[in-house]
Amino acid sequence: MVKALTITGFGINCEAETGAAYTNAGAESTVIHFNELLSGTYNLFDYDILNFPGGFSFGDDIASGKVMSNKLKFRIMKNGKTFIQELEAYIDNGHFVLGICNGFQMLVQLGLLPNISGTYTPETSLERNNSGKFEDRWVYCKVNPHTKSPFLKNIDVLPLPVRHGEGRLVIKDDATRKKINEQNLNALIYCDKDGNVTEQYPQNPNGAEFSIAGLTDPSGHVFGLMPHPEAYLSPQNNPDWAKLARHSQTPDRRHTGQVIFDNITEHILSKKQILKY
């Protein structure tokens, strides 16, 4: 059984949908308040994947994900380690981490994405949308065919909703830009409905560099994205579902956000089965 842990608290508000996505994928889903990890009530290493859902942690009062990322970085756990130390060991031991929207912002602030240097030093940032407003719309995302991320296996183009005010990915410098492209860490890219990558608004809803909607780290074990796959677990979540149904074009789960959770659950399960023999 694959065990998925999803944290909530402090303004995170998409934990129920994220937990449901793993249940749908056949995983054992546990949703807890972040303080329950810090206190030692739950052990991070009992779980295969840790999820940072979307929401508005600490009201985005300073910058999206900034306060929560500092809590993750500096808070001392009951075992005497900081949470970021625990998280580094968790990743180094082959576990997986997913950050969605506000969760992606946290991972970027922490330096877990893209983490080209391996030192957990921030190399990118998520800034205010070029439109100057909160974007609440559906977009199309194209998967980089060369990505190592098991989250995105066998996906080409996927429609997903976005809802954020600070989703514009800004990259530290030219050297980092080059390495992101060379190592195919730009795992998910905004595109038009035909899969053509574009920087044009509103297809690129925030003005992100290279139209990046999601990043992975070099190992492929850490993945973060601004769109919300957990908000598209059923064809009925699609705003055009009635029209699609009338034309017998209702998408199956492989063409909804559910596929990302199915992929990682299947990948972890296959790894566990190999280790048994």
Which of 14, 15, 17, 101 is labelled catalytic?
101
Which of 135, 141, 230, 267 is labelled catalytic?
230
Which of 95, 221, 228, 267 is labelled catalytic?
228
Is position 14 annotated as part of the catalytic site? no
CA distance 47 to 30: 9
Q: How far is CA 224 from CA 8, 10, 100, 172, 247, in A?
A: 17, 20, 6, 17, 34
Is position 141 annotated as part of the catalytic site? no
Closest residue by Cα to residue 83 from 37, 33, 117: 37
CA distance 83 to 52: 14
Token output for 17: 């949908």
Residues 6 or more apart whose CB falls under 8 angstroms from that of 221 comprise 91, 94, 95, 96, 97
Residues 6 or more apart whose CB falls under 8 angstroms from that of 80 comprise none
Is position 95 annotated as part of the catalytic site? no
| Helices H / strands E in the chain, number of each | 8, 11
Please report which residue ranges of the chain form alpha helices under DSSP H.
15-24, 34-38, 66-74, 83-92, 102-110, 174-182, 241-246, 258-275
∠ CA 136-220-75 to the nearest 5 degrees? 75
Given a contact cutoff of 8 angstroms between Cβ atoms, the answer to whether 68 and 57 are in contact is yes
Q: How far is CA 103 from CA 13, 98, 225, 228, in A?
A: 11, 8, 8, 11
Q: Pairing between strand 188-191 and 49-52? A: unpaired
Active site residues: 101, 228, 230
